[in-house]
Structure 1
Amino acid sequence: MEPSSFPERELLRRVRSWQRVPRLRRDIRVARAGTTRLRLSDPGTGKFIELSELEHLIAQAADGEQSSEDLTAFARGYNPAITRKHIEMLVMQLLQAGLLEDEPLAPGYGKVIPLPTAGTTADEFAAFRTQLVSDLHRSEGRRPDHPLPVRKAPGLQARIAVPRLRNDDDLSGGTSIGIGTDPFQALDSSPVPTPGALDELDDTVLSPDGAEAFADDAVPEPVVAPAPPEPAPEPVEPPGAREAPAETRPAPAPETAEKIEAEQDAVWKQTQAAKLRWYQRTSVRLLLALAVLTTAASIIHYPLYITSECTIIPSARVYVRSPIAGVLAAILVDEGTPVKKGDVIARLDDRHLVADRRKAKAETERIEAELERLRHGARPEEISQKRAELEARRTAVEFALKEARRRAGMLQEGVGSKQAQEEAQLDLQIKQNAAYEAGAALKLVAAGTRPEEIAAREAELKRARAELEFIDQKLADMVVIRAPMDGVVLTPRFRERLNENVEAGGLVCEIADTQSVRAEIFVYEREADSIALGMPVVVKVESYPLHPFEGKVGFIAPAVESRDRINVIRVATMLDNRDHLLRQDMTGYGEVECGRKSLIDLATRRLLRWIRVRFLL
């Protein structure tokens, strides 16, 4: 569990900042507090804590060189459920009780002599044994002539006995130290040495059992000894008669010779680090390596590739439109049909044009006949007819004049009406006008046709003939729709437009040249300075990811466009499409090779651009 109070959190932060866990103090008192519990106390302050045997074994393994991870790995050899948090809580308890050194010790502390390996001779091991016993004596404040009770064990392990706490040992004045739930409370059943395994001890430290065992560096695993019978009560001794010797258990040795040699090498490197020359120091070597890498990045060049999305469009495309309004009476091609220039692709309905031609033909013939009559003049029969018409008009005028006079006389005598007199007068005027027109017509016929009249009729004839020719041209050319170029019909479901009305200038179909296509690459605005005409381009489309299409930059748009709210510049290249793999509106990615640049320029180009733009450098 995490510490709840602020001092405990600060203490935990301090413990986690250590690279090595401090070792136990050498003047602490260790005594039995029960069958499976050990009591560690400070003789100066009287503070104490009670630990399980596994906790005590872990505390002994903290020799000033072990980190929290190392102690966790060591403890998991006895109980896999132990985590680093358990180790940190144990260290905090020991630190609060004042049972640890103030700070972690320097590297190599406690490693006075190297551990034996497979190549260690018998004499070297004897010296190691003598030094080990001497160090153990000094750690417990014993005299060299008072040997420390040590159990004989195979391999390199030595277990130090801890006597039981006698009744007269007064530790009641101690202060219990704890920070919540004991992290090892559920781990007391771990396979650690029990007191029963330490009851019978020898007084000497012996070499390993046999040369073969020593040559193999056999280090035994921790074993669980059978539980001892309940010990009988010991006789009470006077206070101060004997103090419980402090227990110091060394951490188990590594399991194999390779691990032992690796640990010795690590200790040797740490002790020799201070003796290295300046050019052998790790920091100097790192700086030299960084300088070499920077120089190499400035010298080595690599191509700069700019990749962006692209779209395939035809290289040439035309929209076929109807020259006149009409109905699509026939469609001769369909979507995807290859066509040549001049091929008929559709026909318009021409029935209304045929009717218009008939009218224009009749009008032309009428004007031609009238012009012919004007050119030859009037016949005698026509003159006699006009003269007879004039005489008839004059007779009608005389009769109307008499009738008007009679009506006027009757009105004066009072026997006639005003209305009858006015009607007679009006009839007289009408007949006089008709007689005047008949006289003018007779004069015109008798005089012949004037030249200006003949010219007017000739102009009307030309207009009628031009209209007839225009209708004939429509029937010949405008009704038939032809392909303006070689290509492929792209209009979807073109045949379904049969009998559809089209306006003059309306779209009929779309034809495109697919022998070569145009790839438009949408390059980010910030990359425009790196692209120039003629640079190699490789295009890959989603449909053919393993088929690259190569070309060169042939066009760079003069204006920036907005695409998905991002400013881009269109870069176009022409691609050969004689195999007809590329189709209109295909999408993919285009890669423009923008020359070779140094590795350091490639790595920093975007950062330098950002700095120059933001800070106007």
Structure 2
Amino acid sequence: MEPSSFPERELLRRVRSWQRVPRLRRDIRVARAGTTRLRLSDPGTGKFIELSELEHLIAQAADGEQSSEDLTAFARGYNPAITRKHIEMLVMQLLQAGLLEDEPLAPGYGKVIPLPTAGTTADEFAAFRTQLVSDLHRSEGRRPDHPLPVRKAPGLQARIAVPRLRNDDDLSGGTSIGIGTDPFQALDSSPVPTPGALDELDDTVLSPDGAEAFADDAVPEPVVAPAPPEPAPEPVEPPGAREAPAETRPAPAPETAEKIEAEQDAVWKQTQAAKLRWYQRTSVRLLLALAVLTTAASIIHYPLYITSECTIIPSARVYVRSPIAGVLAAILVDEGTPVKKGDVIARLDDRHLVADRRKAKAETERIEAELERLRHGARPEEISQKRAELEARRTAVEFALKEARRRAGMLQEGVGSKQAQEEAQLDLQIKQNAAYEAGAALKLVAAGTRPEEIAAREAELKRARAELEFIDQKLADMVVIRAPMDGVVLTPRFRERLNENVEAGGLVCEIADTQSVRAEIFVYEREADSIALGMPVVVKVESYPLHPFEGKVGFIAPAVESRDRINVIRVATMLDNRDHLLRQDMTGYGEVECGRKSLIDLDTRRLLRWIRVRFLL
């Protein structure tokens, strides 16, 4: 029979049955190849298997050229329920299709049953079937009259083999079937389908004589074998007598196709009813279990913990800065040195301040002497001196006046130059001004010091003294840098800054209080509603994972910060650090206990928040 004459509806039924077996379920699709021919495609291997390749595939498996996995997949696609009963039906279908002929097996391949050809008469076919069923019984150790189970066969001992075929050999060559144990590789290398898996099969197994398998008009009608005569009853032997050989026992009458199909329908309906009852019981149990779990989750409460990364920072720290510009002439502490408030940390170079103090002191002394003179008034000697100076200036004016007149006369007479006359006139004016100043000074000395002048000198003296005091304070306080609080010096390699220039207000060192530290926990923005002041906090750092540090929430930042592109809220707690285990910038995890909540709240809080934010605006 040509492969194209196979009814495609029968193939579709078999493929669907194959896909319903859980153990054999594969991603199988049926693809058309032409008009009526169908092929199976296995995406796992990317291969297409035509129906016409069945006998060729069996031959390759028998000769070791084809893996048993491919053979099993295709054989079960052709008929999923491969058991003792169904291998017989498969062989009969191949016989009626004219694909099998009588061909002996090689030595050692087991008992050989000659297979009739497509032209075999009905009586010969019935005899073959009877012999085949009898041998199947005997291979399983059953009595010949024992009914064959349709669904729950324990195993398969049938083997199909053909001589080695070449690529140009006819695929419809001779074929034989061997029954019993033999050295062939098993047709199904995987475990035999369990009863539960076989129960899920659809009613796709054809009748023994194959009448319903081929509905196409082009297929010749199968010859229905008449029922064989009733076998004679076996004589009852006394106990202990040896049982007659199985070959001499009469074979049971073949079952009709209608009876087999009815049995299969009954088994299938029973299986479906049992599955429905199982589904119903399972659904009720699942609903009860869900109700119990929901009730328990609503009653049982468990603490809500929010855990996030944290960083350790000092509770208090100050940055010591230089009050004046200078050079660090001496550094008296180093990194990690504990200091007390008022301890000297460093000294600045004071050479320029000493020079400034000397200048300020000299100016102050000069102003003090002048003010003292003004307060006591002028002495007679000073008055006489001023008068003598005035007389000298007047005499000089007279000589200058005479010289200017002489030069002017000479110029009029034409014997003198104009330049000489101008120079004489300029000298006269200078000497007149000097005489005027000398007269004013004499009057001032003779009249005494005025109060306004004394007040001005006193103001100058006060300014000079303030400048001197400021320089002295610089030398006493600003040159010496002291610790503003108790703590520990945190500046790395502080002593290496010796002789370094610092500006006024420049950073000298950092001092922090390490008796208590501050742990800052960065909580996700969505968890902020669960945190409040006073909640217990447990902090663990990477350096001491087995040493928890306990505290309470003492600070919640009023603004959201961005940390690694994630919005977080900074939560802080104070931790006791008298043992100095915690150090600045240590990292770890902080766990905030946010009270007890029901288990159902703990499991659904994030989902409820997501729903409220996005859908309940």
The TM-score, its normalising length taken from structure 1, stands at: 0.63
Distance 1:230 1:183, change over 3 A: farther
SS in 2 for 1:185: coil
Out of 286-295 and 155-164, give the one that drifted further: 155-164
1:313 and 1:428 map into 2 onto residues whose CA distance is: 86
1:558 and 1:594 map into 2 onto residues whose CA distance is: 19
- The aligned residue for residue 96 of structure 1 is 96
Distance 1:422 1:501, change over 3 A: same
1:423 and 1:248 map into 2 onto residues whose CA distance is: 176
Question: For each residue in 1:293-328, what CA deviation from the matched residue of structure 2 results, as whole angstroms up to 9, or x when unmatched?
Answer: 122112211111111111110000100011111111
1:122 and 1:90 map into 2 onto residues whose CA distance is: 18
Distance 1:306 1:249, change over 3 A: farther
Contact 1:327 1:501 in 2 (8 A): yes
Distance 1:320 1:50, change over 3 A: closer
Distance 1:194 1:407, change over 3 A: closer
2:592 and 2:220 map into 1 onto residues whose CA distance is: 67
Contact 1:318 1:510 in 2 (8 A): yes
SS in 1 for 2:545: strand
How far residue 234 of structure 1 moved from its aligned partner, in angstroms, is: 30
Question: For each residue in 1:9-60, what CA deviation from the matched residue of structure 2 results, as whole angstroms up to 9, or x when unmatched?
Answer: 9969974765766999999999999999999999999999999999999999
1:447 and 1:196 map into 2 onto residues whose CA distance is: 141
Out of 181-190 and 397-406, give the one that drifted further: 181-190
Contact 1:23 1:62 in 2 (8 A): no
Distance 1:22 1:526, change over 3 A: closer
Out of 390-399 and 235-244, give the one that drifted further: 235-244
1:602 and 1:86 map into 2 onto residues whose CA distance is: 57
Cα RMSD over matched residues?
Answer: 16.3
Distance 1:438 1:252, change over 3 A: farther
Out of 62-71 and 551-560, give the one that drifted further: 62-71
How far residue 616 of structure 1 moved from its aligned partner, in angstroms, is: 3.0
Distance 1:158 1:171, change over 3 A: closer
How far residue 62 of structure 1 moved from its aligned partner, in angstroms, is: 20
2:300 and 2:64 map into 1 onto residues whose CA distance is: 48
Contact 1:197 1:225 in 2 (8 A): no
Contact 2:86 2:205 in 1 (8 A): no
2:226 and 2:14 map into 1 onto residues whose CA distance is: 40
The TM-score, its normalising length taken from structure 2, stands at: 0.63
Question: For each residue in 1:377-402, what CA deviation from the matched residue of structure 2 results, as whole angstroms up to 9, or x when unmatched?
Answer: 11111111111111111111111111
- Residue 415 of structure 1 pairs with residue 415 of structure 2: yes
How far residue 602 of structure 1 moved from its aligned partner, in angstroms, is: 1.3
Distance 1:106 1:459, change over 3 A: farther
How far residue 148 of structure 1 moved from its aligned partner, in angstroms, is: 12
1:393 and 1:25 map into 2 onto residues whose CA distance is: 138
1:432 and 1:336 map into 2 onto residues whose CA distance is: 79
- Residue 528 of structure 1 pairs with residue 511 of structure 2: no
Contact 1:344 1:480 in 2 (8 A): yes
SS in 2 for 1:23: helix
Question: Which consecutive segments of 4 or more residues in structure 1 shift more than 4 A?
Answer: 1-14, 16-280
Distance 1:337 1:124, change over 3 A: farther
How far residue 605 of structure 1 moved from its aligned partner, in angstroms, is: 1.3
SS in 2 for 1:91: helix
SS in 1 for 2:167: coil
Out of 592-601 and 120-129, give the one that drifted further: 120-129
Out of 535-544 and 20-29, give the one that drifted further: 20-29
Contact 2:84 2:156 in 1 (8 A): no
How far residue 255 of structure 1 moved from its aligned partner, in angstroms, is: 29
Distance 1:94 1:478, change over 3 A: farther
1:196 and 1:335 map into 2 onto residues whose CA distance is: 78
Out of 114-123 and 471-480, give the one that drifted further: 114-123
- Residue 56 of structure 1 pairs with residue 56 of structure 2: yes
Contact 2:540 2:547 in 1 (8 A): yes
Q: How many residues matched?
A: 617
1:562 and 1:332 map into 2 onto residues whose CA distance is: 41
Out of 596-605 and 444-453, give the one that drifted further: 596-605
How far residue 542 of structure 1 moved from its aligned partner, in angstroms, is: 1.1
1:371 and 1:189 map into 2 onto residues whose CA distance is: 127
2:487 and 2:2 map into 1 onto residues whose CA distance is: 78
How far residue 284 of structure 1 moved from its aligned partner, in angstroms, is: 1.1
Contact 1:150 1:203 in 2 (8 A): no
Out of 494-503 and 211-220, give the one that drifted further: 211-220
Question: For each residue in 1:507-553, what CA deviation from the matched residue of structure 2 results, as whole angstroms up to 9, or x when unmatched?
Answer: 00000011111111111111111111111111111111111111111
Contact 1:49 1:176 in 2 (8 A): no
Distance 1:455 1:173, change over 3 A: closer
Distance 1:460 1:323, change over 3 A: same
Contact 1:338 1:487 in 2 (8 A): yes
SS in 2 for 1:18: helix
Contact 2:110 2:182 in 1 (8 A): no
Out of 227-236 and 374-383, give the one that drifted further: 227-236
Distance 1:346 1:178, change over 3 A: farther
SS in 1 for 2:247: coil
How far residue 267 of structure 1 moved from its aligned partner, in angstroms, is: 11
Contact 1:514 1:580 in 2 (8 A): yes
Out of 510-519 and 184-193, give the one that drifted further: 184-193
Question: For each residue in 1:124-178, what CA deviation from the matched residue of structure 2 results, as whole angstroms up to 9, or x when unmatched?
Answer: 9999999999999999999999999999999999999999999999998999999
1:259 and 1:575 map into 2 onto residues whose CA distance is: 87
Distance 1:240 1:409, change over 3 A: farther
SS in 2 for 1:313: strand
Question: For each residue in 1:331-375, what CA deviation from the matched residue of structure 2 results, as whole angstroms up to 9, or x when unmatched?
Answer: 000000011111111111111111111111111111111111111
Distance 1:35 1:352, change over 3 A: closer
Contact 1:311 1:521 in 2 (8 A): yes
SS in 1 for 2:592: strand
1:217 and 1:121 map into 2 onto residues whose CA distance is: 21
Contact 1:151 1:158 in 2 (8 A): no
How far residue 484 of structure 1 moved from its aligned partner, in angstroms, is: 0.6
- The aligned residue for residue 584 of structure 2 is 584
Contact 1:58 1:71 in 2 (8 A): yes
Question: For each residue in 1:68-113, what CA deviation from the matched residue of structure 2 results, as whole angstroms up to 9, or x when unmatched?
Answer: 9999799999999999999999999999989999999999999999
Contact 1:24 1:62 in 2 (8 A): no
SS in 1 for 2:186: helix
SS in 1 for 2:160: coil
1:369 and 1:44 map into 2 onto residues whose CA distance is: 116
Out of 278-287 and 607-616, give the one that drifted further: 278-287
1:361 and 1:548 map into 2 onto residues whose CA distance is: 64
How far residue 427 of structure 1 moved from its aligned partner, in angstroms, is: 0.7
SS in 2 for 1:19: helix
How far residue 475 of structure 1 moved from its aligned partner, in angstroms, is: 0.9
